[in-house]
Amino acid sequence: MIDTETLEMMTSRSFFRRLAAHRIARRSFATAFAIMVGVVASNLAMSQSLSVYERVRFDIGSTANSANPQYIGSNPMAIAWSGTQLYVAGFNSSASTINTAITQITNPNAAPGLNVVPTFAGSFGTLSTAASRGYTGLALTGGKLGAAWDNGVVSPNAIQGFDTSSNAVLWNLSASGTTTTNVGTSRGMAGIGVDPGYQGDPSQGGGGFAWTTQGSGRRAENDPTTGVPSYVLSGNATPANPSSVGGMILSSSSTLWRDITFDPASGDLYARNNNNVTMNVRTGSNSCVAGINIISGTLITTPANNVGTNIEFLSGISSQGGDSYAGNALIFNDRVSNASGQAWTSVIKVATTGSTTVSQIPTNWNMLYGSSVNGSSVYDFGWDGTTQTLAVLDYTNRTVSIFDLNVDVQTVASGTQTASLSGTTPLAKQGAGTLVADQAGAIATNTVYVEQGALQIGSGGTSGVIGSPVAVTVSSGATLAFNRSDNYGGSIGNTIGGAGGVELRSGALTLTAANAYTGGTLISGGTLSVGDGSTTGSITGNVVNDGALVFNRSNATSLSGVISGTGSVTISGGGSVSLNGDNTYSGPTNVAAGSLFVNGAATGSGAVAVASTATLAGTGTVGGATTFQTGATLAPGLSLGVGTLSFNGGVTWNTGANYNWQLFDATGTAGDIAGWDLAAIGDGLTIAASSSDPFQINLWTLSGTGPFVSGSAANFDPAQNYTWKIASAAGGITGFAANKFVINTSATNGTGGFANDFSGGTFSVAQSGNDLNLVYSVGGPSVITIDVASGTQTQTQAGYPTLSGSIPVVKTGAGTLSITAANTLTGSTTVQQGTLQLANGSALASSKIVP
């Protein structure tokens, strides 16, 4: 149970004495609650509704294990929320040993999104690992946190207080020896709340912490300093210590007192008893009149289990826009069964307060990504009246959600409506039409919810903007549109989430937030930049690109959705971009800076240009004809890993371009993770380099996998010759000459170099039909092996424009090798396979032919 509006009240000892006198003089109890949440009783037939918007949902499920560093047990049980501070406590319902304690989530106002990762501040309180132990209730007021802890026995049942600035224990009633439990024989879960009407020691927070527990004779409140009871929730005819009761006895035939909450303005008490909610009107600082069941089986279905029947008083709800509800309300858990899951909307109920008969408030729960929360339907609540936000803990699904209640609802049923939107209240756009914000002022609300239709920023001119850092949640089927003719005044740092989509209609829009919307992106015109050259900015889902899409990040980012349309894609900013979808866009791809990884997917069918210092890499397919400009780099495989990069079109290697070639296993397979890199080209390969400005092949050996690391390659023997296919071109290879290549064995262009000892051996490049091979020849008295697999090649085409010296030459392969130059070879020439054709009278000089 949470309330933060009462700290000032609680520090004044005379406040509730004055309040009680004023209340009695002003109205009698019979008429006091004829006014319900600001609506006069005669108007109760009016249609009331409340729209509630889920801003963020934290996933705390990863801690469900025995190590459990966050100490929330097998299930989170209790929550406390102040608008800025968020605490979660754990309970171990498992038979195994799991840690339980209290922990704080320090990023409660994180950007909107589903399954947001919480940041934890560590644990405090009574640490426990036993089954059926842990915390069952939390209450927060100012800098004080009250906690109810079930230690597994009837006596004592610990009620603790903590200083939230240090997590230090302020008081522990069981530790002080004060009797804090019942005289009955059963123990159970406890709920706890802040009582603004009880006047305790100001040093302990001023007010008392009230609690309920299941079982007979359970005390409802004790002074946190002395332990003296203020009043008792009793299931017995004679409650415990009746002479000590300073206020009233809430008697009932049921012993299932489950939870407790208070009206912070009046101090009235609301207690959950079995499947009833009891209201008790405050008459003085430490007393109440007899309780009245205000909800008795009408709205609440009798639960099959007593866990999770929590209530919370929602004070001062403000009506905005299309919502007609304003005032106070009760929210409670109305589950039917613990055995099966139930939809959120069938379990969470909101009702009016302050009368012997209450009405359920029609509540529109706007869940992130259009989802509903299911499970065993056990929830706890925390309300902050200042920020008008509700925290909801889901016991089974192990999540914590933050909802906005005070939302300005703007409805455009159809067509287009222009409005000037400003203020600090969250904004919700409803209706199938388009709401256009094109005024000079910014939408300066805390959060924007585009629930239906479209919210458009700008109308083709140069005005209209969402104030930063306003967060935007777009529901499924809805659209956040941008339509200005300029650059929108700079980068858009608003975080966009939800299941809806984003559309750029014109202008140059730059997104710099960690966006998580899943409804896709439409670029119907203009240029959309993801990032501004720094480390932030993202989009998710599919992209229909009929304009220009630019990735401008200095670090790594990725997109798993499919890019379609006729527009262009540009990589800039110096970082790396991984495209993981099977893209179909037909526009050009420009890798202007940084690296483009095409992983398991494809670029579009348009031409691809890789500029100087930029890199094209990955294991997918490049759709269009590709040109590597001077200084550009080809790098098949992962950033550190072997693989095949495929090309549907032709490829051109210009002067001074690079091929960062990785070798993991010298006897492996080309393009295989356990072999070496391969460029598989579906059309022709053009070598546009020259001997004066050659193409650079930078060797890089790797050792180990998962992950790959630089080091010596496997199965390399420097005393053996190797031929590795590094490129294949189905359309043939043009412009080849061995002297158009330089092979770098040292660390070059970001590679790790050739780490194996090659003992004076040499590397060369040779063409064999449609294949381009890297050839290693052993040092010293070795053999020059010229392999022509098929067809006819001249010696120049095979990589040997001249043959000289005493090194023997061996012709292999079924094809024909034509010796066309006047060579000066003195070593032997052996024809092991195929045909050797002498096309020059001095072709072999003094070399001896060995058949």
- pLDDT tens-digit readout, 661-677: 999 999 999 999 999 99
Q: What's residue 229's pLDDT?
A: 47
State which H helix or E strand residue 25 sits in.
helix 15-26
Confidence of residue 790 (pLDDT cuts 50, 70, 90): very high
For 67-120, what is the HEC assignment?
CCCCCECCEEEEEEECCCCEEEEEEECCCCCCCEEEEEECCCCCCCEEEECCCE
596 or 237, greater pLDDT: 596
336 or 851, greater pLDDT: 851
Lowest mean pLDDT of 12-26, 266-280, 750-764, name the range: 12-26
From 405, 423, 441, the end of a domain falls on 405
pLDDT at 337: 60
pLDDT in tens, 476-515: 899 999 999 999 888 888 889 888 999 999 999 999 998 9
8 A C-beta contact, residue 37 and residue 31:
no
- Looking at residue 153, its pLDDT comes to 53
Going by pLDDT thresholds of 50, 70 and 90, the confidence category of residue 45 is: very low
Q: Which of these ranges, 91-95, 613-617, 743-747, has the smallest mean pLDDT? A: 91-95
The residue assigned the tokens 């060369």 is 764
Number of domains in the chain: 5
- Residue 567 maps to a domain: no
The answer to whether position 205 is within a domain reads yes
Strands (E) across 368-446 are located at 379-384, 389-394, 399-404, 408-411, 416-418, 427-430, 434-437, 442-443
- Phi-psi domain of 413 (left: phi exceeds 0; alpha: psi -120 through 50; beta: other): alpha
Question: Strand pairing of 113-116 and 120-128?
Answer: unpaired
Q: Is residue 278 part of a domain?
A: yes
Highest mean pLDDT, choosing among 312-321, 392-401, 657-666:
657-666
Residues 360 and 224 both lie in one domain? yes
User: Which range, of 106-120, 150-164, 566-580, 800-814, averages the lowest pLDDT?
Assistant: 150-164
Domain stops at, among 405, 432, 463 = 405
813/786 Cα distance (integer angstroms) = 8
Do 215 and 293 belong to one domain?
yes
Calculate the average pLDDT of the chain.
78
Give the tens place of pLDDT for each residue, 713-743: 999 999 999 999 999 999 999 999 999 999 9
Q: Residue 51: what pLDDT?
A: 82
185 lies in some domain: yes
What whole-number distance in Å separates Cα of residue 261 and Cα of residue 1? 6
Is 704 within a domain? yes
What span, in angstroms and rounded, lies between the C-alpha atoms of 750 and 747?
7
Window from 82-86, 100-104, 595-599, 656-660 with minimum mean pLDDT: 100-104
Residue 756 · residue 701 · CB < 8 Å:
yes
> Which segment, 269-278, 286-295, 737-746, is predicted with the most confidence on average?
737-746
Please indicate, yes or no, if residue 91 is contained in any of the structural domains: yes
Angle at 727 between CA 710 and CA 598, to 5 degrees: 65
Q: 814 or 287: which carries more pLDDT confidence?
A: 814
Tens digits of residue pLDDT in 130-160: 666 778 889 988 788 888 876 655 444 467 7
Between 17-26, 146-155, 372-381, 802-811, the lowest mean confidence (pLDDT) is in 17-26
Per-residue pLDDT reduced to its tens digit, 159-194: 778 889 998 887 766 543 333 333 333 444 567 887
Q: In this structure, are 621 and 504 located in the same domain?
A: no
Output 391 or 326, whichever has higher pLDDT: 391
Residues 64 and 184 in one domain: yes
Residues sharing a CB contact under 8 Å with residue 98, sequence separation 6 or more, in sequence order: 64, 65, 66, 68, 73, 74, 90, 92, 129
Q: Closest Cα partner for 92 from 53, 61, 133, 149?
A: 133
Among 211, 36, 530, 192, which Cα is nearest to 220's?
Answer: 211
**pLDDT for 36:** 19
pLDDT band at 15 (very low <50, low <70, confident <90, very high): very low
Residue-level pLDDT at 346: 75
611 lies in the same domain as 661: yes
More confident residue, 524 or 19: 524
Rg for the chain, CA atoms, rounded = 37
Per cent of the chain over pLDDT 70 is: 72
Residue 286 confidence (pLDDT): 55
Alpha carbon distance 748, 258 (integer Å): 70
**Do 168 and 276 fall into the same domain?**
yes
- At 321 the pLDDT is 59
Q: pLDDT tens across 689-722, in order?
A: 999 999 999 999 999 777 789 999 999 999 999 9
Residues 415 and 400 in one domain: no
Angle at 846 between CA 844 and CA 847, to 5 degrees: 60
Per residue in 624-651, pLDDT (tens digit) is 999 999 999 999 998 778 999 999 999 9
Same domain, 376 and 292: yes
**For residue 557, pLDDT beyond 70:** yes
User: What pLDDT, in 10s, does the model give residues 370-380?
Assistant: 555 555 567 88
pLDDT computed for residue 253 by the predictor: 47
The mean-pLDDT minimum among 56-65, 446-455, 543-552, 791-800 falls in 56-65
Confidence of residue 218 (pLDDT cuts 50, 70, 90): very low
Confidence grade of residue 211 (pLDDT, cut at 50, 70, 90): low
For residue 802, the tally of other CB atoms under 10 A from its CB is 12
> Based on the domain organization, do 678 and 803 belong to the same domain?
no
Regarding whether 82 and 102 lie in a shared domain, the answer is yes
> Which tops the pLDDT comparison, 220 or 283?
283
CATH number, domain with residue 104: 2.120.10.60
| pLDDT reported for residue 631 | 98
Residue 17 has pLDDT above 50, yes or no: no
- 338 assigned to some structural domain: yes
The first and second tokens of residue 395, run together, are 């016991």
Say how far apart CA 418 and CA 478 lie, in whole Å.
Answer: 18
**Has residue 43 got a pLDDT over 50?**
no
Residue 222 has what pLDDT?
47
Q: Is 80 exceeded by the pLDDT of residue 802?
A: yes
Statement to judge: residues 463 and 315 lie in one domain: no
Regarding pTM above 0.85, the answer is no
Confidence of residue 277 (pLDDT cuts 50, 70, 90): confident
Least reliable range by pLDDT among 231-245, 493-507, 519-533, 572-586: 231-245
- Alpha carbon 728 to chain centroid distance? 41
With a cut of 60, say whether residue 543 has pLDDT above it.
Answer: yes
159 lies in the same domain as 277: yes
Domain finish residue from 484, 514, 544: 514
- pLDDT for 682 equals 97
User: pLDDT tier at 196 (50, 70, 90 boundaries)?
Assistant: confident
pLDDT interval class at 46 (50, 70, 90): very low
Q: Is residue 584 part of a domain?
A: no
Please give the residue range of the domain that contains residue 448. Answer: 407-514
Split at pLDDT 50, 70, 90, the class of 428 is confident
H/E element holding 804?
Answer: strand 804-805
